[in-house]
Chain A
Amino acid sequence: MLLFVFLPIAAAALIPVFEKVWKELVDFLANAVALALLVLALAFITPLRYNGPMVLNFSELFQFSMTFYLDSLSLLLLLVINGVGLMALVYSIEYMKEYGGKGRYYALFLLMLAGMNGVVLSHDLFGLYVFLEVAACSSYALVAFGMKHEELEAAFKYLILAAAASALILLSIALIYARTGNLDMKLVSDGINFSLYQGDKAIVFMIILLVAGFGLKMAMVPFHAWLPDAHPSAPAPISAMLSGVLIKASGVYALMRILYNVFGISNLPKVGFMLMGMGILTIVIGGILALVQTDYKRLLAYSSIGQIGYILLGFGIGTPLGFAGALFHLMNHAAFKSLLFLNAGAVQQATGTRDLNRMGGLAKRMPVTALTSLFGSLSISGVPPFNGFLSKLVILVAAIQAGHMLGNHIYYWYAAVGIGFSVVTLAYFLKVQRKAFFGKLNETLAGVREVKFAMTLPMIILALLCLALGIGFPWLNQALLSPAANTLTSLFVR
């Protein structure tokens, strides 16, 4: 379990040294580390299914008292992080050639992976915060990696807002420590719930700080201002990682883990209602703003905000079905949004522009990019049999089911908004397809050619994954989603 954090940190330290000796080796080394991490995560599926959550207590090994905790929810996130990480790294082999400084890029990328893996494995609130910062600091540098004015400005804006988020999270952790005298999630959970039943108002303040802090990290409306600048400005594989994985591991996962497993907010329906309300607001604002964009990557960034809304809606419902839907959509969004950002990167590299109005007819020149982009667009728009259809369906069914059980009509309205904005998603992705890939070929793009195999391969794999996750839903639900959803229904038990 320690390898999930230690291996990428060690590789990050060594890669710039190897770069001096043999430049081509760094591509292999970085990809080999990401592949090893993915295989390691896959190897945990069966043992975890039969033996239950695993605890790596360092006190048993080296007399360290901190622990790593791996349950079905952590494993799901590890698969997503390292799977998308591998795809982005394969894509980077060709894409990052023009940027230079590949060794430093891979080092920062692997440190970001280590940080995210640490976030999902940490069972200690301050440990979670430290790894959150490792991932965040690496991402600031990676956003600015191209060193153009726009990228530096976006990275600075991202840094300032993410630092504000970190300050809110740290203040909340400090208050939790002051209240309970512990940082271990299990022990904090015992202390917090004792307080909850005593009607402690300080708990509400801690929850508000956490929602605002992690809300900023996940770009939940109204804390979303940084994302439409940061995600499009970064190199394409980094955009894929930020939109596909980072906002989920650092924002959604961390918040839900603390709210449901530590604070036990299943006992506080008002917090669930607040999450659902924020989710709906995020769906609506993200969807409307995406609709009016003409910058390819900026449209994708606003779309990410909208999709985070669906995930929040699922978590806010607070039933096992809602959790399963939210987790499935989290996984699916990682697949299709990283695919769509890789498509956008390929188009930008081939045409030199991100302006949709200056494209057209690219399907003739870039057939693989066009076809995989179509797969991604249909998936995110919720068209069957792709994965996005099923995850949105599960969330909406969970909302209707909860409304029926509680006799509350607001759930039906939330489901209706969810369906309506799925149509809006389809509308803006049809716009992308029409303006970029179909129609008459723009004369200025006559010389455009398909990108190289190292860039098309991850796009093909992710496109097939979008289809496979939809078709394989029953197996996936049984093996990963239901066990992961069940972990959120109760407090930490170790």
Chain B
Amino acid sequence: MTLHVVLLGLLVAFLILAVFLTDLLKAAIALALGSAVLAIIFFWFRMPYAGVFELSVCAGLVMVLLVSTIGLTRRDEPEHEERNKSGWLLLPILILVAVGIIDVVIFAFLHTRMPLVHSTVTTPSFSDTLWRVRWLDILGQLAIILVGVFAVLALFRNEGGLPGAAGERPADEEPHGH
């Protein structure tokens, strides 16, 4: 088994854990670990810029935002955790299927059929890439961070007092089509 399959397996395992764990803090930690493994994969494939960003933004900044948000919540009743235990049996199968799909489709199939043209592209330096070539992306990412902050502030607001807010559902407002 090659190292890239091991890393891929770890990445998929951490990300599936992030989805399955009902404890938000543990899920956030699993996500951060997944990001760290992804950063290693980026370095492994000689993409240091992507690796640096993945490590600093996704494993660092996003983790801080998530933990801060989780700090605003309170723990739910434990009955929810009991209910989802059967789902854990599917975990190893899900990991194997996901790794198989990614390894076969992306690495084996597409990689060999997508002729890369890196030889024709001159790679600018890190600072040039960040501050000149992809400057608008920074503006876009700034906007996304603002969206995240305002979304958290909006969804945890106390004003308004709408009937049926914060999880209650009035009798005449059943959701449709499920």
* Interface residues in B142-178 (C-beta closer than 8 Å to A): 142-144, 146-148, 150-151, 153-155, 157, 159-162, 164-169, 172-173, 175-177
Interface residue A4 (Cβ < 8 Å from any Cβ of B): no
Across-interface contacts of A105 in B (CB, < 8 A): 154
Q: Can you show 13 pairs from A to B with CB atoms below 8 A apart?
A: A111-B146, A137-B147, A144-B155, A146-B162, A148-B162, A149-B168, A154-B175, A175-B114, A178-B114, A179-B117, A181-B116, A295-B176, A298-B176
Number of A-B contacts (CB under 8 A): 146
How many residues on the B side are at the interface (Cβ–Cβ under 8 A)?
45
In angstroms, Cα B151 to Cα A105, docked, is: 9
Interface residue B78 (Cβ < 8 Å from any Cβ of A): no
Q: Is the CB of A137 within 8 A of B151?
A: yes
Contact of B162 among A122, A147, A152 (CB under 8 A): A147
Across-interface contacts of B116 in A (CB, < 8 A): 178, 181
Q: Is the CB of B135 within 8 A of A64?
A: yes
Q: Looking across the interface, which residue of chain B has its beta carbon closest to that of A180?
A: B117
Q: Which residues of B contact A (CB under 8 A)?
A: 110, 113-118, 120-121, 132-137, 139-144, 146-148, 150-151, 153-155, 157, 159-162, 164-169, 172-173, 175-177
Q: Which residues of A contact B (CB under 8 A)?
A: 5-6, 9, 12-13, 16, 58-59, 62-66, 98-101, 104-105, 107-108, 111, 114-115, 118, 122, 124, 126-127, 130-131, 133-134, 137-138, 140-141, 144-150, 152-154, 175, 178-182, 191, 201-202, 228-229, 295, 298, 353, 355
| Nearest 7 CB-CB pairings of A with B | A100-B160, A100-B159, A130-B140, A141-B151, A104-B154, A181-B117, A149-B169
A66-B135, A137-B144, A202-B114 known; A147+B150 contact, CB < 8 A: no
Q: Is the CB of A228 within 8 A of B144?
A: no
Q: Is the CB of A99 within 8 A of B114?
A: no
Q: Is the CB of B117 within 8 A of A16?
A: no
> What's the minimum C-beta distance from A180 to chain B, rounded to whole angstroms?
7
A133-B140, A146-B165 known; A9+B132 contact, CB < 8 A: no
Task: Describe A's contact surface by its main secondary structure.
Answer: helix
Across-interface contacts of A58 in B (CB, < 8 A): 135-136
In angstroms, Cα B172 to Cα A149, docked, is: 12
In angstroms, Cα B150 to Cα A101, docked, is: 10
Across-interface contacts of B150 in A (CB, < 8 A): 12, 16, 104, 107-108, 111, 141
Contact of A147 among B120, B135, B165 (CB under 8 A): B165
Across-interface contacts of A101 in B (CB, < 8 A): 153-154, 157, 159-160
The interface centre, meaning the residue of A104, A105, A126, A295 with most chain B CB atoms within 10 A of its CB, is A104
Across-interface contacts of A104 in B (CB, < 8 A): 150, 153-154, 157
Q: Is the CB of B153 within 8 A of A127?
A: no
Q: Is the CB of A9 within 8 A of B159?
A: no
Q: Is the CB of A134 within 8 A of B143?
A: yes
